[in-house]
Amino acid sequence: MTYQETLQYLFNQLPMYQRKGKAAYKADLENTLKLDEYFKHPHKNFRTIHVAGTNGKGSVSHMLASILQSAGYRTGLYTSPHLLDFRERIRIDGQMISERDVVDFVADNQGVMESVAPSFFEMTVAMAFDCFSREGVEVAVIEVGLGGRLDSTNIISPDLSVITNIGLDHTMFLGDDLHSIAKEKAGIIKSETPVVVGRYQSETADVFREKAQSVNAPVFFSEDLVQVKNVQSVSGFQVIDLSTQSEDVSVKLPLLGEYQQENLLTVVSAYNQLKKIGYNLNKNVLKEGIYGVVKQTGFLGRWQILSENPLVICDTGHNADGVAKVVAQLKRGKNQKIHIVWGMVNDKDASGILKMLPEDADYYFTRASIPRALDEKKLLDQALKVGLSGESYPNVQLAVKAAKKNASDNDLIFIGGSTFVVAEALEK
């Protein structure tokens, strides 16, 4: 099979949560453990850092991987979902797994896939761990897919666990309150393994403390360890002055979302813990890794500027916590008018999230070309009920085209609501 034929085989044969939703979710590790046994436990051949959380785990994972690369470690990075190419999920030193390796993995292991019948995500985790082992990765940053306790990545014994924050997302699987969701995320905390928690939240802090205490794992909250002293916007960077328990440092962050300041605190806290347990890291490595995160890891889709005049920005924030931060930054902008291209998946609280969006913007409601996408006309109907105004468009390209036609040079076009809407906006 060619690479494209291989992807079609995977998409068609294996249930994929991003496309199908709940029907593709498996609430146990049985298949993962079977695959791990078959591949002879490849994750035991490299060190790992495990990253969970509702929002920010992708950003934190990419920044940590970039820091490790700057330090000279042969670094694996496993993230999900992908935006433009399946291979984004599996990177070594920033380079995506080759098309040939994907084709060969599927061809060589078709038998076990058909006998175990894993989900798309379970198969992808197995592919990543096998690739990292074969390619001699020294340390891999592993992003949790969904939850933590029952996530397919949760067979590793990491050097460090990181939990960014807890918000209401995937409530049908993880619980409908922050305490319940935190218990699922806390499932990545391992015996005598330090854990960094990015955001202190009164509803969840004791969940992490109790879980950590039960397995004798030291737990650290980022705001106790690192503080932001000053932030400036300088030619495509956030220049952020930080104070830590051991040293002060100023970093240039090319990720322009204001919410990245919280993620940066989590990363610097994790960096300090890694230094304590023997990783060969220093201030220069930290600064180089943060500065180079986009180039070194191929990071996309977070407050990403696509063009100027009019300013076009996309961001993958899609749950209440993420959308709130995006909207706050939009409202602080100085553009004449905001045009918002917006699409969602059908298992989110569309009405609740629509109520958070600015009423004085012009809207272009649309849908990504996946089965989980919420119909654009239904989305428009819900938007009109909460006081938003706009039109619906059957695909992302038409919605973006209409927004560009209506926007003046001093306006802002924002594209978001779903990772899949952003992915289609990024396609050339």
Domain boundaries, the chain: 3-224+258-282, 304-426
What mean pLDDT, rounded, does the chain reach? 93
pLDDT of the residue at 12: 81
Report the CATH superfamily, name and number, of domain 3-224+258-282: Mur-like, catalytic domain (3.40.1190.10)
Average pLDDT by stretches of 10, the chain with 428 residues: 92 64 64 96 98 95 98 98 95 98 96 91 96 98 91 97 84 73 94 97 94 97 94 93 91 96 97 97 97 96 94 93 93 90 90 94 96 94 96 98 96 96 91
Residues 6+ apart with CB under 8 A from 88: 79, 82, 96, 298, 300
Residue 173's pLDDT is 58
> What does the pLDDT read at residue 298?
95
pLDDT at 250: 96
Question: Is there a contact between 312 and 405 (Cβ–Cβ < 8 Å)?
Answer: no
pLDDT the model gives residue 423: 95
For residue 23, the model assigns a pLDDT of 52
- Given this model, what pLDDT does residue 214 score? 97
Q: Does domain 304-426 have CATH number 3.90.190.20?
A: yes
The pLDDT value given to residue 402? 98
Quote the pLDDT of residue 170: 56
Query: Tell me, what's the pLDDT at 344?
Result: 96
Beta bridge partners, 340, equal 363, 414
